[in-house]
């Protein structure tokens, strides 16, 4: 179920997910103007002052019929900017705040007080229940194969478990690259599809040309799920790990490398992610670098075609 604030405002039930060091004003603006939810992480702005400027720029570039935008806020104690950034989000009355690494009821209430929605990402039902208890408006199910700080559960299992107690907005992340997969996410029980990796390889993405080229050449088997970079498990392309000097013989044997399970401070993590590039297992079908407008037109066409195929199958 979509909240009233989103009903009738989207051309596709999709979100261009906030990606660390990849999503910025240009990507978020282009997505919103194609009437899907665009977003970026607050920490992609180097300072709180820059975040303020980014939001001013983003709002100025939105069409009258643009979809709402979202900002990802890391609420973990390792983020020293939580309070300052939250004040900026409140100043701009950001319509959607995506919270990560902790469901904090005080943050949820504060966002909702200015009329915003809070979507929280989780990788299992345990954390989903914590998010529900915190009063969030939507839960993002980050399934196995997703980029970034992904989960390990199959999307069928994860969505089904979450739906045993959650009847509000549910988003699904993990290997969603085309319109048919957006429809499949809905068929599984999600309200919105959460697309990240596919948008790395777009013209408006802030990823370097080398990063985009690696996405085009990588395959599903190249995605390594490891805590070595962030301190908690995340998905990275093997080629970038090798370039950064990681010992792949060790990373390939889970349990033999003890990098700890504590998230690194935000500044340290940013430095690591500049040279080690994240992506999800869906890289294997990405073959070009279109504009966001071209990609969204393709997604809409694929989504419509998939719905027609399903209708014929039912007939």
Q: What is the 3-state secondary structure (H, E, C) of the chain?
A: CCCCCCCCCCCCCEEECCCCCCCCHHHHHHHHHCCCEEEEEHHHCCCHHHHHHHHHHHHHCCCCCCCCEEEEEECCCCCCCHHHHHHHHHHCCCCEEEEECCCCHHHHHHHHHCCCEEEEEECCHHHHHHHHHHCCCEEEEECECCCECCECCCHHHHHHHHCCCCCCEEEEECCCCCHHHHHHHHHHCCCEEEECHHHHCCCCCCCCHHHHHHHHHCCHHHEEEECCCCCCCEEEEHHHHHHCCCCHHHHCCCCCCCCCCCCCCHHHHHHHHHHCCECCHHHHHCCCCCCHHHHHHHHHHHHHHHHHHHHHHHC
On the CB side of 15, how many CA atoms lie within 13 Å of its CA?
31
In the chain, where the domains are located: 14-207
Find the range with the poorest average confidence among 11-20, 40-49, 71-80, 155-164.
Answer: 71-80
What pLDDT is stored for residue 266 in this prediction? 53
**Pair of tokens at residue 113:** 């007080």
Q: Which of 143, 194, 123, 136 is nearest to 166 (CA)?
A: 136
Return the pLDDT at 213. Answer: 98
As a whole number, mean pLDDT of residues 93-121 equals 97
- Quickly tell me which residue has 């300052």 as its tokens: 84
pLDDT (tens digit per residue) in 145-189: 999 999 999 999 999 999 999 999 999 999 999 999 999 999 999
pLDDT tens digits, 63-91: 999 999 999 999 988 899 999 999 999 99
Query: Is domain 14-207 in CATH 3.20.20.70, yes or no?
Result: yes
Contacts with 50 (C-beta within 8 Å, 6 or more apart), sequence order? none
pLDDT, one tens digit per residue, over 133-142 is 999 999 999 9
Distance CA 28, CA 112 (A): 22
Contacts of 306-309 with C-beta under 8 Å, sequence gap 24+, read 306/179, 306/180, 306/183, 306/184, 307/183
Over residues 217-243, mean pLDDT: 92
Sequence-ordered list of residues with C-beta below 8 angstroms from that of 174, at least 6 positions apart, any chain: 142, 143, 144, 145, 146, 150, 151, 155, 280, 281, 282
């Amino acid at each position: 179920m979509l909240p009233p604030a989103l009903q009738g405002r989207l051309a596709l039930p999709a979100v261009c997910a906030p990606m660390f060091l990849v999503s910025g004003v240009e990507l978020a603006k282009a997505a919103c103007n194609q009437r899907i939810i665009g977003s970026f992480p607050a920490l992609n702005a180097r300072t709180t002052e820059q975040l303020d400027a980014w939001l001013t720029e983003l709002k100025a570039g939105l069409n009258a019929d643009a979809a709402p935008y979202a900002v990802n806020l890391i609420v973990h104690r390792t983020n020293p900017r939580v309070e300052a950034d939250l004040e900026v989000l409140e100043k701009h009355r950001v319509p959607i705040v995506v919270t990560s690494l902790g469901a904090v009821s005080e943050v949820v209430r504060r966002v909702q007080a200015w009329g915003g929605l809070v979507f929280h990402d989780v990788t299992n039902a345990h954390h989903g229940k914590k998010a529900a208890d915190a009063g969030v408006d939507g839960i993002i199910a980050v399934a196995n194969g997703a980029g970034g700080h992904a989960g390990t559960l199959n999307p069928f299992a994860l969505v089904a478990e979450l739906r045993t107690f959650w009847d509000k907005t549910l988003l699904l992340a993990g290997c969603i690259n085309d319109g048919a997969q957006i429809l499949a996410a809905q068929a599984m029980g999600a309200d919105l599809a959460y697309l990240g990796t596919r948008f790395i390889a777009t013209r408006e993405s802030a990823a370097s040309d080398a990063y985009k080229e690696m996405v085009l050449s990588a395959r599903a088997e190249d995605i390594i799920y490891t805590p070595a970079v962030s301190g908690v498990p995340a998905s990275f392309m093997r080629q970038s790990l090798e370039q950064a000097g990681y010992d792949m013989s060790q990373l390939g044997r889970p349990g033999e490398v003890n990098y700890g399970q504590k998230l690194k401070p935000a500044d340290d993590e940013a430095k690591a992610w500049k040279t080690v590039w994240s992506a999800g297992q869906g890289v294997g079908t990405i073959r070009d670098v279109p504009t966001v407008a071209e990609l969204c037109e393709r997604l809409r066409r694929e989504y419509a075609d998939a719905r027609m195929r399903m209708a014929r199958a039912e007939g």
